[in-house]
Each structure stands twice: as structure tokens, then as C-alpha cells.
């Protein structure tokens, strides 16, 4: 009898002690960073902090490699196996929201105050996703080179104009010191094209789609401004100022550092390693102003809640927990991206006042523009990429832009204008 | 008739060897580049790509990339998963496809030609076109395992095996081979009272080594290189194969040395399998005594 009592007591005690663990509802989180040890460590730290900070939810991480992530999410959506929390690339978010993969976030009032616009994923009047960081692009240059050839060092307030920028490229090319005056990164033939080169088109006054209606690309992708951009773009290759589409990825990674390229259009994620190699001579310059203001692309990876989550309030609670400044700063220090708030930037090594990458925060704040916020963007990006590639390789500019415009218009029509399902 | 002089012979042999070496180099150089690059730090690796040093183990050589690869991803797990999935699928596939081919080659039944034609016709259907419907099917199938009946096959080993247990190409290979075997062997066995399965097991299988080896190699390569299907059906790292694992190494700043180290490691099982079967292939021809 005593034994039975002891067993019963032990059972009761065990049950009582384990009750809090059982009470927590599990939330699955899918993340695109498999293979990145630093990201994994930071994210696991946030998850652990969240899980121990409250009694209701426990987040479980499942990582995917970035190149396979979008396909995995689409496959899971088809088979009805989406997790509670997903991360999504900013420009892809409208497509997933439109396709019914995501639902709006349930964040507290003021939770996103002070966030860089590029870190907030808004579609159809609702916030679907939020990023802990943004990414920015700058013109990498050497102060000594610009000074040697008498080229003005541009500032945020007074960026290069088209004429100035073009003249600088010609001067650098004529010097004979470099293989190419500018490296655009043509070797990276993925999202880099619309992300990095779309802003040139925007600054010329064109776009991938008419943002007032999102129903046509007519007149914006093949209008006078876009053609002017296309002509100038093609002239870069015709004049051998930049490497073409056959550029080797190895040259992309080493060309500027080794002095083969005078300038390089590159993201902040290459900033630290380039600084290490080039030192104080390195400058991160703002985008040139091609007529309609200097622009760079905004929006990187963000967290959102899947449409099928049975616990959207828990999923949103985790996201709101994760966007605290200390975590934004931790991610920035870990992987070098631009923290989403000024407060977080002040806490980082690279983006705080006087930090080596401080300029990127200012660039994000002043020049970042979102890629078209429409479900059709994923298609538009492919067409834009193809048109740019064709133009680089000598295709007729008007024909290439007309073809892209027609394809984008046909896609919009096929999808009934990407109307939101009621 | 011109006399074959010693200098002519030497010249021809030299030319022949030079040509063979050149051809061999075309195949060997990529592997050599992969292995050598896996020993170099990224900066040196990228620098060397523009010179012959890309193929030479020179400079700062170490195994750091291999250690890095193991830190970045569960390489051992991925290799185990791929080998396990591939070997089980190959073994079952060889058995099922050879049995099917045996029936098509030797048994008489209504609609045989039509069924075989339909099976072969499936060769022209790209896998990508049926991937989504297949995903939906496997997602709603039951499976009886250690935990009882479970619905949905995602995140399992068997979802990566079952759809590939039988395929038209393997069946076609076996059918073609079986058709060319001497009918007298089968007739003699049947006269001696052997059942059809005994004919298959005791007469056909022992003399069909070459086609088994060929089919095994082809199937092994297909299974080991699977990417799209595992990507769609494995959301858990525990069951991911090597090709999906390769994507772990492509980050914003790709660690090329680790990519090469990972590729070197996952290439070893393929080479080992091929070398083992190559011996079996030659041995089977030598032992059957029915070639030609």
C-alpha cells in the first residue's frame, strides 16, 4: 500500500511539474537560412528567449536552404502543410498573401514605429510581414582612385548625375589602369538583376509596372524614360565599361578588391570583407540620380504568419517578440545586414555612429524604394531580368522592352489583374 | 602494302596515347579541380581559377573546408540518407522491374503488347509535370509504421523511395535483354519441371548480370541525384538527401571551398558504387559463357 501511495505521489508530482511544458502550444517556424551557422545561433537564441518568456507558446525551428526555400513553401501550401510562422522575401510577400499562403499580422499598436520602410511588408492595406533587417546597395569605390582622376566624391545630398557618372566611367576606362570601369555584378543572374538594376530604371522615370493601378506595364516599361534607360544600359556594354553577362562569379567576388574594376555596384553584405581587404581607402557611395532621384532597392527577408496557422495570435506574438532592438542588433552584428531601426543601428558594431557601414543605414533611409508591391512582381522580375540580359547582349532596346511589357500585361490579364479573392 | 616500321609504330602509339590522355583529361580535370579546390581557402581558390594552379595542390593547403562543411551542415546524415534511400530503391527496383520484364518477355497474356507500350510511353512524360499531383497523392496516403497508421507520407524515407520503385526505362532495359537470351534455356528448365519463378530465379537472374549491373548504375545515378522530389516532400532535415543539402552551402557570400569539399565527399559513394558494379559487370560476362 505504501508503495502504491509513493507511486501515486510521484506520478502526481511529475504531472504537476510537467504541466507548464504541456500547456505550451507548439508553433512551427520555417526559416530560409540553413547552412548559415551564425543566423541559426541567433535565431535559436531568440526562440529560446521567447519560449521561456511566456507560458503559452513554444516555437520549433525547421531550417531550409535559401535556394530551395520558396519551392518548399509552395509545395507545402499545395499539400496543406504550411507551418505557423514562415519567413518570406519582401518582394515575394504580396504573391504569397494573394495566393492565400499568408494572413495579416496581429501586432500591437506602434510595434513597427521607427522601422525602415523596407522592413515592413504591407500589401492591400495590411501588414503581412516584418523584417529584422533591410539590405542596401552602394557604389563601392576607392577614394585614392577618384582623387587621382579628379572625380567628385558624391554625397547623399548631392549624388552623381547621369552625365557625371557616365563621364566618370569614361575617365576611369580611359585611364587604362582597370579591366573595367564598373562592375555591375552581371554574373549574379538571379533576383540581383531586378533588385540592383530596377532602381536605375526607376531613377530614369520608368518602372516594371504602372504602380498607380498595377494593371499594366504599358508606358512605364516601354515608355520614353525606360527606353532612355535601356539605351544607356546598352551603351555601357557597347563601350566595354562593364563586364557582360558572361562574367565569372569569381571575378565578381575578387575583381574590385584586386583592382581590376574601378567601381563596383554591390550590397552591404560584401561591405565588411571588402573593408578588410581594401581598408580605409574604401568608400560606399550613394546611387547616382538619373533624373528622378537616386534610388536603391528595399526589402529583404521578413517574418509572417501562414494562412493555415491555427494559432495566429501566438505566431504574431513571436514575431513581435523577435523585432526587439536587441535582436535586430544581434542579427546585424552576426550577418552584416542593415538593422531595421535607428535604435538598433546604434547598438551595432557596423551601423552605429562612426561605424564602418553606417552609411548603408542612411542609404536605406534616404534612397530605398520597394520593388513593385504586387503579386505579379515575381513574374515581372523574371521578364525584367530577361529584357536587361537581352539588351546587354545587343538586342534592340525597344523590341526587348516591348516584349517584356507584352509578357507582363499578358500575365496580369491571365491572373485577372491579380484581384484579391473576396 | 606499306611495311610497318619501328618509327611508324612508335609515332602511331605516341599519337594514340596523346589523344587518349587528352580525352581522359577532359573527364578528369573537373574532378581534379573539385578535389584540389576543396583543399584551398576561398581567396586562393578564386585567384587560382584563372591559371593552371586551379588543378594543382599548391599554396595554402589544408582540410579546413572539410571541417567547415561538417560545421555548416549535417553532411554525414545527408550522405547516409541518400545512400540508404538509393540502395533500398535500387534493390527493390531491380527485383520488381526484372520480374515485370520477365513476364513481358516470356509469358503470354492478353493485352501484353498494349501494356508494355503504355509503360514505355510514360518515358516521354517529364517528372516535373506529375510532381504536384504526386505530391497531393502521397500527402493523403496512409502508412502503417511503428506508430500505427499515419496519414500522409511527407518527411519520411519511403516517400522518397516508393514512387521510383518501378520505372519504364529499367523495365525496358530488362525486356530488351531478356528477349535476346536463348529461348532453349527457358524451355529446358520448363521441361525439367521448373516453375516460372524458378526459371526467373535459377536460370534468368544468374545470366542477366550485365543488365542488372547496367540498370543498377543508371538507377543509382537517378536516385542519388534526386533534387526536386525530396525538396517537395522533405520539410525535416532528418530525411533530406545530399542534393538538397548542397544548397546549404550557397549563401550570400558562398563558401566555395566548402562547396568543393562537400561535392568531393558526396561524389565518393557514386564512384565507389560504379567501381564495385563495374567489376560485377565484367565478372558476370566472363562467367555466363553465353556472350555473343
Q: Does B176 touch chain A (CB under 8 A)?
A: no
Shared-domain flag, residues A157 and A142: yes
pLDDT band at A421 (very low <50, low <70, confident <90, very high): low
Tell me: do A222 and A259 sit in the same domain: yes
Interface test with B, best of A35, A36, A272, A335 (most B CBs within 10 A): A35
d(CA A109, CA A116): 17
User: Has residue A161 been placed in a domain?
Assistant: yes
Residue written as grid cell 542596401: A136
Q: Which of B232, B251, B256 sits opposite A75 (nearest CB)?
A: B232
pLDDT at position B292 = 39
Give chain B's domains with CATH numbers: 73-249 (1.10.3720.10)
Note the pLDDT of residue A6.
52
Per-residue pLDDT averaged across A323-352, rounded? 94
Residue A118 has pLDDT above 60, yes or no: yes
Candidates A271, A273, A291; CA nearest to A283 is A271
* pLDDT score for B143: 87
pLDDT above 70 coverage of chain A, percent: 94
Same-domain check for residues A62 and A197:
no
Q: Quick check: A81 and B47 CB within 8 A?
A: no
Query: So what's the pLDDT on residue B286?
Result: 56
> Helix (H, G, I), strand (E, B), or coil: what is residue A203?
helix
Paired sense of beta strands A180-183 and A261-267, if any: parallel
Residue A260 domain-assigned (yes or no): yes
Percent residues over pLDDT 90 in chain A: 86
The answer to whether position A6 is within a domain reads no
Does residue A228 share a domain with residue A355? Answer: no
pLDDT attached to residue A388: 97
**Spatial separation of the C-alpha atoms in residues A266 and A261, rounded to whole Å:** 12
pLDDT for A250 equals: 84
* A267 and A411 housed in the same domain: yes
Q: What angle do CA B51, B54, B60 make, to 5 degrees?
A: 115
Residue B253 to residue A63, Cβ atoms within 8 A: no
Q: Are A105 and A122 in contact (CB under 8 A)?
A: no
The answer to whether A78 contacts chain B (CB < 8 Å) is yes
Q: Is residue A12 part of a domain?
A: no
Arithmetic mean of pLDDT, B254-280:
88
Min Cα–Cα distance to chain B from A270, Å: 7
pLDDT for A1 equals 45
Statement: residue A12 has pLDDT above 60: no
In this structure, are residues A220 and A209 in contact, taking their beta carbons and an 8 Å threshold?
yes
pLDDT average, residue stretch B184-194: 92
Give the model's pLDDT for residue B149: 84
CB contact under 8 A, B248 and A34: yes
* Minimal-distance CA residue of chain A relative to B69: A35
Pair A251, A310 in one domain: no
A202 touches chain B (CB under 8 A): no
**Cα–Cα nearest to A182, from A228, A219, A237, A245:** A237
Examine residue A244 and state whether it is found in any structural domain, yes or no. yes
In angstroms, the separation between the Cα of residue A67 and the nearest Cα of chain B is 6
Instruction: Give the residue numbers spanning the domain of A309.
Output: 24-135+300-370
Average pLDDT for B259-288:
79
Give chain A's mean pLDDT: 93
Q: Do A71 and B135 touch (CB under 8 A)?
A: no
**Number of domains comprising chain A:** 2
Residue A81 carries which DSSP code?
A: -
Greatest CA separation for chain B: 81
Question: Does A13 reside within a domain?
Answer: no
Predicted confidence at residue B254, as pLDDT, reads 82
In angstroms, what separates the C-alpha of B76 from chain A's closest C-alpha?
14
Assigned domain for A10 exists: no
Residue at A9 is within a domain: no
Instruction: List A1's β-bridge partners, or say none.
Output: none
CATH of the domain at A244: 3.40.190.10
CB contact under 8 A, B251 and A67: no
Closest CA to A362 of A270, A280, A296, A274: A296
Dump pLDDT digits (tens) for B60-74.
Answer: 999 999 999 999 999
Q: Which of residues 3-42 of A touch B (CB under 8 A)?
A: 30, 34-37
Within this chain, do residues A144 and A185 fall inside the same structural domain, yes or no? yes
Of A37, A72, A79, which has the smallest distance from its Cβ to B139's Cβ?
A: A79
Would the pLDDT of A289 be above 50? yes
Cell matching residue B131: 510532381
pLDDT tops 80 at residue B284: no
Q: What are phi and psi of A311, to 5 degrees?
A: -130, 60
Secondary structure of A15-36 in HEC code, one letter for each residue = HHHHHHHHHCEEEEEEECCCCC
Identify the domain boundary among A333, A348, A370. A370
Q: What integer is the mean pLDDT of A6-16? A: 50
Terminal CA-CA length for chain B: 33
- Of A139 and A35, the one with more pLDDT: A139
- Average confidence (pLDDT) over B19-32: 91
Could you tell me the pLDDT band of residue B271, with boundaries at 50, 70 and 90? confident
Quick one: pLDDT at residue B177? 92
Q: Hey, what's the cell of B87?
A: 540502395
Whole-angstrom Cα distance, residue B194 to residue B200? 10
Classify the phi-psi angles of A176: left when phi > 0, otherwise alpha if psi is within -120 to 50, otherwise beta.
left
Residues A88, A234, single domain; the answer is: no
Question: Taking phi first (over 0 means left), then psi (-120 to 50 degrees means alpha), and beta for anything else, what does residue A208 get?
Answer: alpha
Q: Do A141 and A248 reside in the same domain of the chain? A: yes
Asked if B43 and A254 come within 8 Å (Cβ–Cβ), the reply is: yes
Per-residue pLDDT tens over the stretch A232-272: 999 999 999 999 999 988 889 899 999 999 999 999 989 98
Task: Write out chain B residues lying below 8 Å of A68, CB-based.
Answer: 231, 244, 247
Interface test with B, best of A75, A136, A255 (most B CBs within 10 A): A75
> What is the longest distance spanned by two Cα atoms in chain A?
99
Same domain, A170 and A281: yes
In chain B, count H helices and then E strands: 15, 2
Q: What is the mean pLDDT of chain B?
A: 90
Taking the CA of residue B80 and the nearest CA in chain A, the distance in Å comes to: 18
Please report, for residues A383, B156, B176, B219, the alpha-carbon distance to residue B131 in angstroms, rounded to integers and kept in the order given: 25, 17, 29, 19
For A238, the grid coordinates are: 557597347
Residues from chain A contacting residue B136 (CB–CB below 8 Å): 78-79
Q: Are residues A151 and A202 in the same domain?
A: yes
Q: Is the pLDDT of residue A18 over 60?
A: no
- The interface pTM score, or ipTM, of the predicted complex is 0.78
**A397 and A286 in a common domain:** yes
Average pLDDT for A329-354: 93
Amino acid at each position: 500500500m505504501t508503495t502504491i501511495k509513493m507511486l501515486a505521489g510521484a506520478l502526481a508530482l511529475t504531472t504537476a511539474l510537467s504541466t507548464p511544458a504541456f500547456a505550451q502550444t507548439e508553433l512551427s517556424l520555417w526559416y530560409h537560412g540553413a547552412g548559415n551557422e551564425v543566423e541559426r545561433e541567433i535565431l535559436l537564441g531568440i526562440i529560446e528567449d521567447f519560449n521561456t518568456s511566456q507560458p503559452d507558446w513554444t516555437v520549433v525551428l525547421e531550417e531550409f536552404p535559401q535556394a530551395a526555400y520558396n519551392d518548399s513553401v509552395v509545395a507545402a501550401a499545395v499539400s496543406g502543410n504550411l507551418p505557423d510562422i514562415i519567413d518570406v522575401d519582401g518582394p515575394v510577400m504580396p504573391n504569397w498573401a494573394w495566393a492565400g499562403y499568408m494572413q495579416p499580422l496581429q501586432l500591437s499598436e506602434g510595434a513597427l514605429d521607427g522601422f525602415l520602410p523596407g522592413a515592413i511588408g504591407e500589401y492591400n492595406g495590411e501588414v503581412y510581414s516584418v523584417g529584422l533587417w533591410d539590405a542596401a546597395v552602394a557604389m563601392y569605390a576607392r577614394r585614392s582612385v577618384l582623387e587621382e582622376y579628379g572625380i567628385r566624391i558624391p554625397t547623399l545630398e548631392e549624388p552623381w548625375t547621369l552625365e557625371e557618372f557616365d563621364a566618370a566611367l569614361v575617365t576611369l576606362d580611359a585611364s587604362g589602369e582597370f579591366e573595367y570601369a564598373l562592375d555591375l555584378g552581371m554574373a549574379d543572374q538571379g533576383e540581383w538583376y531586378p533588385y540592383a538594376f530596377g532602381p536605375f530604371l526607376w531613377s530614369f522615370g520608368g518602372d516594371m509596372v504602372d504602380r498607380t493601378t498595377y494593371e499594366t506595364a504599358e508606358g512605364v516599361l516601354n515608355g520614353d524614360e525606360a527606353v532612355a534607360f535601356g539605351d544607356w544600359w546598352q551603351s555601357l556594354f557597347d563601350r566595354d565599361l562593364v563586364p557582360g553577362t558572361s562574367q565569372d562569379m569569381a571575378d565578381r567576388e575578387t575583381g574590385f578588391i584586386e583592382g581590376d574594376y574601378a567601381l563596383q555596384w554591390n550590397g552591404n553584405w560584401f561591405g565588411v570583407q571588402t573593408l578588410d581587404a581594401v581598408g580605409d581607402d574604401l568608400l560606399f557611395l550613394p546611387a547616382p540620380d538619373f533624373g528622378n532621384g537616386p534610388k536603391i532597392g528595399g526589402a529583404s527577408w521578413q517574418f509572417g504568419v501562414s494562412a493555415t496557422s491555427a494559432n495566429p495570435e501566438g505566431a504574431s506574438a513571436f514575431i513581435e517578440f523577435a523585432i526587439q532592438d536587441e535582436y535586430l542588433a544581434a542579427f546585424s552584428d552576426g550577418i552584416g545586414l542593415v538593422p531595421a531601426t535607428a535604435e538598433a543601428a546604434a547598438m551595432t558594431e557596423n551601423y552605429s555612429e562612426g561605424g564602418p557601414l553606417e552609411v548603408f543605414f542612411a542609404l536605406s533611409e534616404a534612397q530605398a524604394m520597394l520593388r513593385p508591391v504586387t503579386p505579379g512582381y515575381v513574374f515581372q522580375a523574371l521578364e525584367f531580368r530577361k529584357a536587361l540580359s537581352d539588351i546587354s547582349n545587343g538586342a534592340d532596346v525597344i523590341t526587348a522592352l516591348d516584349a517584356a511589357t507584352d509578357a507582363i500585361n499578358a500575365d496580369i490579364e491571365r491572373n485577372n489583374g491579380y484581384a484579391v479573392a473576396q | 602494302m606499306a611495311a610497318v616500321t619501328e618509327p611508324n609504330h612508335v609515332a602511331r602509339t605516341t599519337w594514340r596515347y596523346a589523344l587518349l590522355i587528352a580525352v581522359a583529361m577532359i573527364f578528369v580535370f573537373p574532378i581534379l579541380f573539385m578535389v584540389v579546390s576543396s583543399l584551398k581557402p576561398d581567396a586562393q581558390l578564386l585567384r587560382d581559377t584563372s591559371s593552371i594552379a586551379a588543378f594543382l595542390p599548391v599554396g595554402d593547403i589544408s582540410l579546413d573546408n572539410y571541417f567547415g562543411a561538417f560545421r555548416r551542415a549535417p553532411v554525414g546524415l545527408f550522405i547516409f540518407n541518400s545512400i540508404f534511400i538509393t540502395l533500398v530503391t535500387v534493390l527493390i527496383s531491380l527485383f520488381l522491374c526484372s520480374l515485370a520484364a520477365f513476364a513481358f518477355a516470356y509469358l503470354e497474356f492478353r493485352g501484353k503488347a498494349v501494356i508494355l507500350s503504355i509503360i514505355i510511353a510514360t518515358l516521354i512524360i517529364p517528372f516535373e509535370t506529375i510532381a504536384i499531383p504526386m505530391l497531393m497523392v502521397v500527402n493523403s496516403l496512409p502508412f502503417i509504421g511503428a506508430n500505427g497508421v499515419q496519414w500522409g507520407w511527407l518527411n519520411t524515407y519511403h516517400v522518397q523511395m516508393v514512387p521510383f520503385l518501378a520505372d519504364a526505362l529499367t523495365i525496358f532495359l530488362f525486356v530488351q535483354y531478356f528477349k535476346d537470351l536463348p529461348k532453349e534455356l527457358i524451355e529446358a528448365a520448363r521441361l525439367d519441371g521448373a516453375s516460372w519463378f524458378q526459371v526467373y530465379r535459377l536460370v534468368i537472374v544468374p545470366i542477366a548480370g550485365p543488365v542488372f549491373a547496367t540498370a543498377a548504375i543508371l538507377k543509382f545515378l537517378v536516385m542519388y541525384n534526386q533534387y526536386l522530389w525530396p525538396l517537395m516532400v522533405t520539410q525535416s532535415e532528418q530525411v533530406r538527401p545530399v542534393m538538397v543539402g548542397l544548397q546549404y552551402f550557397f549563401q550570400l557570400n558562398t563558401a566555395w571551398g566548402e562547396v568543393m569539399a562537400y561535392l568531393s565527399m558526396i561524389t565518393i559513394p557514386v564512384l565507389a558504387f560504379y567501381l564495385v558494379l563495374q567489376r560485377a559487370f565484367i565478372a558476370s560476362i566472363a562467367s555466363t559463357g553465353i556472350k555473343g
